[in-house]
Structure 1
């Protein structure tokens, strides 16, 4: 199944990149706070981040990966993470379907960045190691 996972690849492309998630853990697109609602470069960083399901830490880059999960496994991973963090887990199935719909449109290995509701391919600037 194609999903989004945390990656440190292409970190440093933007001056405000961060990577606190665990490499290759499943990620979701979290809610955006008031500071970042109109500006992904706002004071919080949530408007440009992907949230790690296991570590509950975030990263500004996600990679499309083909992971051996069933759709039900994916829903359970999201449900469990949401529950652990105190969020309402009743929407886990819808969120899993939405995330899978996003991932399916990109080739495996593509690194993505988030700018509020926009996902785009992240390219590696010259001079940075791969």
Structure 2
């Protein structure tokens, strides 16, 4: 299954790049604060970053990898991420939690058209192309 993982590849090519996530950890597009909704180049950086699902730290670059995991595995990882982030069903309600998890799975499914090894960035709800695939992330 194609998924996004944190990478330092391409870091520094654009103003405001940062990578505090762990190289290779699964990442997802995180929530965007009101400040970054108005200007993804300002504020805290969340409008141009991916959230590390293990470290809870962010990066502005991610690489597409084809990993041997099932959709159920990914759902479990996403569920764990949100619970760890303090947004579990006991906090936001079961129905809302399931909606957030399902929406995240849908967001991640949108990378299916991106070739393995491509480095991408983020601008709010859009992926941006950072580099051509170069063999990174291939099994």
TM-score w.r.t. the length of structure 2 is 0.83
The aligned counterpart of 1:108 is 116
SS at match of 2:64: strand
Which structure has more helix as a fraction of its residues?
2
Q: Does 1:40 align with 2:49?
A: no
The aligned counterpart of 1:85 is 85
**Could you tell me how far apart the structure 2 residues matched to 1:73 and 1:35 are?**
33
Superposed CA RMSD in Å reads: 1.4
Match of 2:127 among 109, 119, 125: 119
| Deviant stretches of 4+, over 3 Å | none
Given that 2:118 and 2:131 are in contact with CA atoms closer than 8 Å, whether structure 1 keeps it comes out as no
TM-score w.r.t. the length of structure 1 is 0.89
Q: Does 1:56 align with 2:64?
A: no
**Could you tell me how far apart the structure 1 residues matched to 2:5 and 2:26 are?**
4
The aligned counterpart of 1:127 is none
Tell me, which stretches of 5 or more residues in structure 1 are unaligned?
125-130
Q: Does 1:96 align with 2:105?
A: yes
The aligned counterpart of 1:13 is 13
